[in-house]
Amino acid sequence: MNGPIRKVSVLVMVMFLALMVNMSYSYVFRTESLRSDPNNRRVRDAEFGTDRGDILVGNTPVATSSAVNDRYQFQRKYPQGTLYAPVTGYFSFMYGSSALEQSQNQALTGQSDAQFLQRMVDTATGKTPVGATVQTTLDARAQRAAYSALGDRPGAVVAMDYSTGAVLAMVSTPSYDPNQLASHDLTASQKAWSSLTNNSDQPMLNRSAKNVYPPGSTFKLVTSAAALTDGMSSSSMIPAGKSYRLPNSTAVINNADDCGGSSITLAQALKTSCNTAYAQLGVRLGDDKIRAQAQKFGFGATQLADIGAVASRFPANPDAAQTAMSAIGQFEVAATPLQMCMVAAGVANDGVVMEPYIVSQVRGADLNVLSNHNPRQLSVAMSATDARQLQQMMVGVVQGGTGTRAQISGVTVGGKTGTARSDGKRPPYAWFVAWANDPKVAVAVFVQDSGATTAETSGGRFAGPIAKRVIEALR
């Protein structure tokens, strides 16, 4: 064999060897990622013809599949589509899936590792594979109350059991109907997708967990926690006043109402939502202490990966003026309603922040439990002693401060109102975060466009009553 032929032979052998190595590597290490790739149409065809498992709220399916007489064999349905869309997401032949339909896809299609034995039995007996059932933590009463209370206003509500982290309600408005995207009429599905994605109201955006907004005065809870952790008490005196010029700046901040003097207690500052007091407190504490406190409540970390939640943030290197604005929830502070619910929950739970979760259990077609979620502690945001002081400060807000519209007879409710500027062209955002002792629930309400003036929203005119309705629905 002459030299050139030998070289070609070696090259061909090396190429075959590389192909074999790549195929072996792909089979062993890439099978799962290739199979779950949303662009893999072969897998999508197979999944779309699967008897997909139910997603449950209580004992009620909010996503289910039924047999149909077409080439796909099973139709995915959402009996209460718009109500639960932010949690269930959609399952579409054309556009893949989102939220729980995406994160729980392996279990819902019967393809998870825990279902291997059942797949083998189904194959041996010739049975059609059936997906697992996903049990959520949602409470139908809280979900309906939040959705109804928000009405046609764009916004979000998150409620959770602060002792466990179980999410009891997750609402985002305006919402959308995932049945339109799950349709087997692919032309109709395409039209629905185009209409939804081009809608300026963004009905497919989960405002409760997948977008961040300036939290306004609700962030004063974090600043208060930082102050208490730093050695202050609810009765500590802090400078207030009618106005405050920011350090090294000509900008001046004012208060919506009278705070009660030029020097007031920390409790009074929270009760009246005193901007000048908290701005000066922020400068006194410094950005590092406030940031550290925010991180203890969950800022900077992603929670609820099941639905693709995003992390909330506190600015990295603010100057003194920016720190003052950050202390009142402005400048570049940005949070999801989920995150602000976690803040209220941590305070209510004596400083312990529980990891939020929305899937409590996954059960196979034979009803055997495949996975079970046990409540887990995420962090200790503050000492129990300091948390109880902040609890009483929040109770003061509801009993005689800016949050009186959230009062419930016979129930201890602590809360904090919030107002945040948006783009300067629309009314400010309205916030209210709260907790109750009976039931043990924390709630965050965000109204993106309340149509109110700053004074009206800071007084809890819109968001406070929504939180009240959610708490009452759970009693």
Taking only the tens place, the pLDDT of each residue in 62-98 is 999 999 998 889 999 999 999 999 999 999 999 999 9
Question: Is the pLDDT assigned to residue 19 strictly greater than 90?
Answer: no
Question: Is the pLDDT assigned to residue 456 strictly greater than 60?
Answer: no
Is 36 designated active site?
A: no
Mean pLDDT of 248-271: 93
Of the candidates 329, 332, 330, 328, the one whose C-alpha atom is nearest the C-alpha of residue 317 is: 332
36 vs 406, more confident: 406
Mean pLDDT of 272-280: 96
pTM (predicted TM-score): 0.89
Whether the ω angle into residue 79 lies within 30 degrees of 0, i.e. cis, is no
290 vs 3, more confident: 290
Give pairs for 55-61: CB < 8 Å, separation 24+: 55/87, 55/88, 55/100, 55/101, 55/104, 55/108, 55/133, 55/134, 55/136, 56/133, 56/134, 56/135, 56/136, 57/84, 57/136, 57/138, 57/139, 57/140, 57/143, 58/139, 58/140, 60/140
The secondary element (H helix, E strand) that includes residue 170 is strand 167-173
Q: What pLDDT shows up at residue 459?
A: 46
pLDDT in tens, 39-50: 556 666 667 778
The amino acid at 14: V
DSSP, collapsed to helix, strand or coil, labels residue 372 as strand
Residue of 217, 224, 234, 458 marked active site: 217
Confidence grade of residue 258 (pLDDT, cut at 50, 70, 90): confident
> Mean pLDDT score of the chain, rounded to an integer?
90
3-state secondary structure 70-132: CCCCEEEECCCHHHHHHHHCCEECCCEECHHHHHCHHHHCCCCHHHHHHHHHHHHHCCCCECC
Distance CA(458)–CA(430), nearest Å, equals 7
Q: What pLDDT shows up at residue 21?
A: 78
**Bridge partner residues of 208 (DSSP):** none
Of the candidates 413, 404, 407, the one whose C-alpha atom is nearest the C-alpha of residue 440 is: 413
330 vs 422, more confident: 330
Mean pLDDT of 181-187: 95
pLDDT in tens, 393-427: 999 999 999 999 999 999 999 999 998 876 666 67
Confidence grade of residue 367 (pLDDT, cut at 50, 70, 90): confident
Q: How many CB atoms lie within 10 A of CB 15?
A: 10
Q: State residue 411 phi and psi, 5-degree precision.
A: -125, 135
For residue 222 the two structure tokens come to: 């974090």
218 vs 131, more confident: 218
Distance CA(401)–CA(422), nearest Å, equals 24
**Bridge partner residues of 445 (DSSP):** 157, 432
Confidence grade of residue 53 (pLDDT, cut at 50, 70, 90): very high
DSSP 278: H
Question: Is the pLDDT assigned to residue 392 strictly greater than 90?
Answer: yes
Q: What's the sign of the alpha-carbon dihedral 320, 325, 326, 330?
A: negative
Contacts of 227 (CB under 8 A, 6+ apart): 236, 266, 281, 285
Q: What pLDDT shows up at residue 277?
A: 97
For residue 266 the two structure tokens come to: 């920390």
On the CB side of 322, CA atoms within 13 Å amount to 12
pLDDT in tens, 104-158: 999 999 876 666 566 555 655 556 677 899 999 999 999 999 999 999 899 999 9
Question: Is the pLDDT assigned to residue 434 strictly greater than 90?
Answer: yes
